[in-house]
Structure 1
Amino acid sequence: MSRWSARGHLVGGYGLPVLALLLFLAFSLALPDTFPTRDNVSAILSNQAIPALLALGATVPIATGRFDLSLGYGLGLAHVVVLLLIVDTATPWPLACLAVIAGGGLAGAVNGFIVEFARIDSFIATLGTGSIMYALTGWLTGGGRIMPGPQGLPSSFTALYDAEFLGLPLPAFYVLAATAVLWVVLERLPFGRYLYVIGSNSRAAAVLGIPTRRYSVAAFATSGLFTGGCGVLLAAQQQIGNPSVGLDYLLPAFVGALLGSTTVTPGRANAPGTLVAVAVLAVGLAGIGQLGADFWATPLFNGATLLVAVGLAGYAARRRLRVRPTADGPSSPADGPPRPPVHQPPAHP
């Protein structure tokens, strides 16, 4: 590897974590009394836990080259159903949470079946199912909010979001645990490597004998499980059911997942990269908010970052293809799963 290639790899792999640190230092210097405080850090970790988990869920289908646009709609439906089960039917909250998480996985599997077996583009398919979820949310709530009774929600349920562990918000540990598990699954287990092969070249994956449809459906189901879990946390945080709140989380989730594919392992979706990207967004949004920016600054920041993320993700993917060794040559672990060997026809004498 040349000196310039090595420098480019370092910038691509570690530039975003350095940017997160620089942003934190810049806002700490600009707001020394409020930004570099324990309360502010705890607030950032707590407020960004749900977007981080949703972004991790979006990462899995992106690894296969698919996109799940139903995440925000599913989040809204999941948190409403949790509250309906607890408030209206007096279902024990652990059972209600398990039911919603399982339902999220089922909804994700339905998305996968529509994409893979009906042969509908993932953008269109998941946008359609998301609209159906949004309609179902409106039907269940009648367009209004779900309010708990005078006794409120069980304290053990709200503690899922409000509790602390080792002096930090408990949701932050959910994010760290989910990132670690997803890293192991994607980087160290055959399941994740198959997803990357499918995302790189689905036809080659089929030639290798990988059941591409089955793994793609599993990727969408995993995304649905994350969405259901985020719905549970959102219900514990909000403690009321708002049928439209989930849409606010869709754009940050995709920004985090796409921007994360440009770092740590540039050129492909990966869990640590998603976590770093969410950290950049969290620090940036917190700093902008404390500087007194207008309400439109947040969607402007998210939209501009999404455009940058898509551009950088495409550049990283193209660069990775340019520097990838030939199919018959050696490859390094950083290059991801090997492609199938290319057999040239014998030359005629």
Structure 2
Amino acid sequence: MTAPPSPASPSRPRRRTPAGHLVSAYGLPALGVVLFVLFSLMLPHTFPTRDTVQSLLSNQSIPAVLALAATIPIVTGAFDLSLGYGLGLAHVMVLQLIVHEGWPWPGACLVVAAGGAAVGVLNGVAVEFGRIDSFIATLGTGSMMYAVTGWVTGGGRIVPGPRGLPAAFTDLYDSRFLGVPVPAFSVLALAVALWLTLERLPLGRSLYVVGSNPRAAELVGIPTRRYTVYAFTASGLIVACAGVLLAAQQQIGNPSVGLDYLLPAFVGALLGSTAIRPGRPNALGTLVAVTVLAVGLTGIGQLGADFWTVPLFYGGTLLLAVGLAGYSARRLRTGAAAVPDTPSPPPASGRDGDTTGSTP
């Protein structure tokens, strides 16, 4: 009988130390704090002020909502490139219904939200049942939504009449609670809801399994196609809600405005997968990433940087985020393989110990 390997055996991988885990999980929030302190020292009269903080909370609410929407399909291993197009269509549609069709604003918002969920279902069906790569499928539906946006607006802007928009509608973005912009509370509530769903509920855990190993998910009975459609549906619904916020903010329908939010959304979602729960997309990590990006962009802007520094910043950060996300995922898999005495999983099929099974 072969003796079990000793704890000092060189063949056994070493576990990650607690200090290394802390640095990996909370390095990005620490970077945010460092950036805030640095810009405060460099710009003591303009950066560390209440106006700057309120501007951050208000202006970054829509990018944060979109980043959270992008996170959900990424959990399942897919990407939704229709986010920016969906945002543009939702924000012009709600203004079209209110301004030109005379709808009450609550009804217009509900119809637009339902339309966003329907677009999410279309994306999910195209990816899972049409077997089209998520990049291609969502880019195609996004182009279709951009065409619908141009058709609705006629290539021009939707401008409210002399009486403007209903005050209750614009208050969705402009109002304050305890001195804090209301959209900031909306973002926080959404992030907490997604965190609880993904980390604490069986639905969220199943979505992570689908994203990490679809074959294994099928073998244990998880309906991978249905869950992927759920993820795209939730993403489309959240994008539509972000479009409503954008309409309340701008109060003018601009058919091309949504595309500016696509890159920041993916940067926030991918960079967020390197924080809090490194190696896996998570809602709180996305929220932290959006905050760090907002602090960096605000500080750069107050230093008087040129306009081209914004796309340069986002492009470079996207490359860095993808690299770090891949590295964190590899570290996570290595750490899982390093756990000693891990019991073998039970056979996936009950037929004479056959562990191959078949796809349900």
CA distance change for structure 1 residues 245 and 329 in 2, over 3 Å: closer, same or farther? farther
Q: Is the 8 A contact 2:63 2:264 kept in 1?
A: yes
Computed over aligned residues only, the root mean square deviation of the Cα atoms, in angstroms, reads 1.9
| Unpaired segments ≥5 residues, structure 1 | 332-338
In the alignment, what sits opposite 2:274? 262
Secondary structure of 2:113's counterpart equals helix
Report the alpha carbon displacement of residue 50 of structure 1 after superposing the two structures with TM.
Answer: 0.3
In the alignment, what sits opposite 2:184? 172
User: 1:313 aligned to 2:321?
Assistant: no
Secondary structure of 1:191's counterpart equals helix
User: 1:59 aligned to 2:74?
Assistant: no
In the alignment, what sits opposite 1:241? 253
CA distance change for structure 1 residues 59 and 92 in 2, over 3 Å: closer, same or farther? same
In the alignment, what sits opposite 2:95? 83
Report the alpha carbon displacement of residue 325 of structure 1 after superposing the two structures with TM.
Answer: 3.9
Match of 1:141 among 153, 157, 160: 153
Q: Is the 8 A contact 1:327 1:341 kept in 2?
A: no
Match of 1:157 among 149, 162, 169: 169
Report the alpha carbon displacement of residue 207 of structure 1 after superposing the two structures with TM.
Answer: 0.4
Instruction: Quote the Cα distance in structure 1 between the aligned partners of 2:110 and 2:168.
Output: 15
In the alignment, what sits opposite 1:322? 334
Instruction: Quote the Cα distance in structure 2 between the aligned partners of 1:263 and 1:111.
Output: 28
Please, what TM-score do these two structures have when normalized by structure 1? 0.94
In the alignment, what sits opposite 1:12? 24
User: 1:74 aligned to 2:86?
Assistant: yes
Match of 1:189 among 188, 195, 201: 201
User: 1:225 aligned to 2:237?
Assistant: yes
Instruction: Quote the Cα distance in structure 2 between the aligned partners of 1:106 and 1:150.
Output: 34
Instruction: Quote the Cα distance in structure 1 between the aligned partners of 2:297 and 2:328.
Output: 25
Instruction: Quote the Cα distance in structure 1 between the aligned partners of 2:334 and 2:347.
Output: 17
In the alignment, what sits opposite 1:117? 129
Report the alpha carbon displacement of residue 286 of structure 1 after superposing the two structures with TM.
Answer: 0.5
In the alignment, what sits opposite 2:138? 126
In the alignment, what sits opposite 1:335? none
User: 1:27 aligned to 2:39?
Assistant: yes
Q: Is the 8 A contact 1:101 1:225 kept in 2?
A: yes
Secondary structure of 1:324's counterpart equals helix
In the alignment, what sits opposite 1:212? 224
Match of 1:250 among 249, 255, 262: 262
Instruction: Quote the Cα distance in structure 1 between the aligned partners of 2:19 and 2:33.
Output: 19
Q: Is the 8 A contact 1:78 1:231 kept in 2?
A: yes
Report the alpha carbon displacement of residue 11 of structure 1 after superposing the two structures with TM.
Answer: 1.1
**Higher alpha-carbon Rg:** 2
Identity of matched residues, % = 68
Instruction: Quote the Cα distance in structure 1 between the aligned partners of 2:30 and 2:114.
Output: 38
Instruction: Quote the Cα distance in structure 1 between the aligned partners of 2:41 and 2:346.
Output: 54
Please, what TM-score do these two structures have when normalized by structure 2? 0.91
